[in-house]
């Protein structure tokens, strides 16, 4: 059976639905919808050279690849290749074809180093190493049963602190952009990021179809956003923490924890039954906080890197 790789076509519903279906089957801890895929294709910065790919057999999408440059990094030439194949259609060559097409695309646009996330399973790791990638750090996926689990009780707000929703900033989201940029810059990772383009952030993050402004919680202290948790939802029953953090001047006061607890309680009240998040395996303080909320590790992935000649 012939496998064909081609670009994801944003105007073809079967492509978008097939991509989302494969990603959900292969990686159920990350929210992806046809609408979120179409939005990314329309709004990611041109310098990212974003090129999602699909592998098709008998007219059905069986594999996917998300391919782009880290254009927000101060160090040029950092590429990303994340390949996922439907678990029922592995060992048919789709993964290898996707990797080859992705690497050729990124190399043509100046990539010198490629990063990928690989599920921590023997077959997946062997596939990455076969293609010249070496393992580095790892990260956990965590899941919280909102329907049947018990959340920590809501806490009294410290003096001078109030909780707001993301929608309260609809008229002027710049304060949240500044908070997001500061917290993202301090996230552990292989590639440094600098968020400086407010208009791009509006298009790519603030107006993203997965972002739920009603469930996004912001802790305000001294009259400014001090900590937040950004909520993604899939329009069904699944909720995900896209980012949680506090401004440097407000860290150590439990404000990010306060915001996340508020968001989780409201998500449960809104009918969401599953919550997902992720942490580097070495980030023990954050893992401990998420376990306090009731999250349990449900999967692990390993970061692999390949240097291009």
pLDDT at 77: 95
pLDDT at 286: 80
pLDDT at 232: 98
Residue 215 has pLDDT above 80, yes or no: yes
Strands 60-69 and 78-85: antiparallel
Average pLDDT, integer, range 203-207: 95
Q: Which residue has the tokens 């293609």?
A: 131
Residue 194 has pLDDT above 90, yes or no: no
Pick the closest to residue 306 from 90, 62, 113, 29 (CA basis): 113
pLDDT at 186: 77
Pick the closest to residue 31 from 288, 286, 294, 277 (CA basis): 277
pLDDT at 71: 87
Its pTM stands at 0.93
pLDDT at 282: 84
Whole-number Å distance between alpha carbons of 25 and 181: 32
The model's pLDDT over 76-98, given as tens digits with 9 standing for 90+, comes to 999 999 999 999 999 999 999 99
The model's pLDDT over 153-177, given as tens digits with 9 standing for 90+, comes to 998 999 999 999 999 999 999 999 9
Residue 188 has pLDDT above 70, yes or no: no
Q: Measured between alpha carbons, how far apart are the two ends of the chain, in Å?
A: 34
pLDDT at 285: 78
Cα–Cα distances (Å) from 272 to 188, 216, 237, 238, 263, in that order, read 29, 14, 4, 6, 11
Residue 73 has pLDDT above 90, yes or no: no
pLDDT at 191: 65
Mean pLDDT for the chain overall? 94
Listed in order, strand segments (DSSP E) in the chain are 3-7, 53-57, 60-69, 78-85, 113-119, 134-145, 161-165, 217-221, 224-233, 238-246, 274-280, 296-307
Q: How confident is the model at residue 18 (pLDDT cuts 50, 70, 90)?
A: very high
Average pLDDT, integer, range 118-131: 96
Average pLDDT, integer, range 183-188: 79
Average pLDDT, integer, range 247-266: 95
Cα–Cα distances (Å) from 282 to 138, 187, 188, 247, in that order, read 8, 12, 10, 21
pLDDT at 180: 94
pLDDT at 189: 65
DSSP state of 154: P
> Residues of the chain with pLDDT > 70: what percent?
97
Q: How confident is the model at residue 12 (pLDDT cuts 50, 70, 90)?
A: very high
Residue 187 has pLDDT above 80, yes or no: no
Cα–Cα distances (Å) from 273 to 33, 145, 146, 209, in that order, read 18, 6, 5, 20
The model's pLDDT over 136-158, given as tens digits with 9 standing for 90+, comes to 999 999 999 999 989 999 989 99
**Domains (range + CATH), the chain:** 3-111 (3.40.630.30), 147-272 (3.40.630.30)
Bigger pLDDT: 66 or 74? Answer: 66
């Amino acid at each position: 059976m012939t496998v064909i790789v081609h670009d994801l076509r944003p105007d073809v519903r079967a492509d978008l639905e097939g991509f989302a279906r494969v990603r959900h089957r292969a990686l159920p801890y990350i929210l992806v919808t046809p609408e979120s895929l179409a939005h990314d294709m329309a709004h990611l910065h041109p310098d990212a050279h974003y090129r999602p790919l699909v592998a098709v057999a008998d007219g059905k999408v069986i594999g996917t690849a998300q391919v782009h440059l880290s254009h927000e990094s101060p160090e040029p030439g950092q590429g990303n290749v994340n390949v996922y194949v439907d678990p029922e259609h592995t060992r048919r060559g789709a993964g290898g074809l996707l990797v080859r097409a992705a690497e050729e695309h990124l190399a043509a646009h100046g990539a010198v180093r490629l990063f990928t996330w690989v599920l921590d399973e023997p077959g997946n790791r062997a596939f990455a190493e076969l293609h010249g990638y070496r393992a580095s750090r790892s990260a956990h996926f965590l899941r919280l049963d909102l329907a049947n689990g018990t959340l920590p009780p809501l806490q009294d707000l410290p003096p001078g602190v109030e909780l707001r929703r993301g929608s309260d900033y609809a008229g002027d989201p710049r304060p949240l952009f500044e908070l997001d940029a500061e917290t993202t810059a301090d996230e552990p990772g292989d590639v440094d990021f600098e968020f400086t383009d407010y208009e791009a952030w509006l298009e790519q993050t603030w107006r993203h179809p997965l972002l739920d402004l009603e469930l996004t919680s912001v802790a305000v202290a001294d009259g400014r956003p001090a900590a937040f948790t950004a909520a993604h939802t899939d329009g069904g029953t699944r909720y995900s923490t896209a980012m949680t953090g506090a401004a440097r001047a407000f860290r150590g006061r439990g404000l990010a924890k306060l915001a996340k607890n508020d968001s989780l309680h409201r998500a449960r009240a809104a009918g969401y039954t599953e919550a997902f998040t992720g942490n580097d395996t070495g980030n023990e303080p954050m893992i401990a906080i998420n376990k306090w909320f009731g999250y349990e590790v449900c999967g692990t992935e390993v970061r692999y890197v390949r240097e291009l000649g």
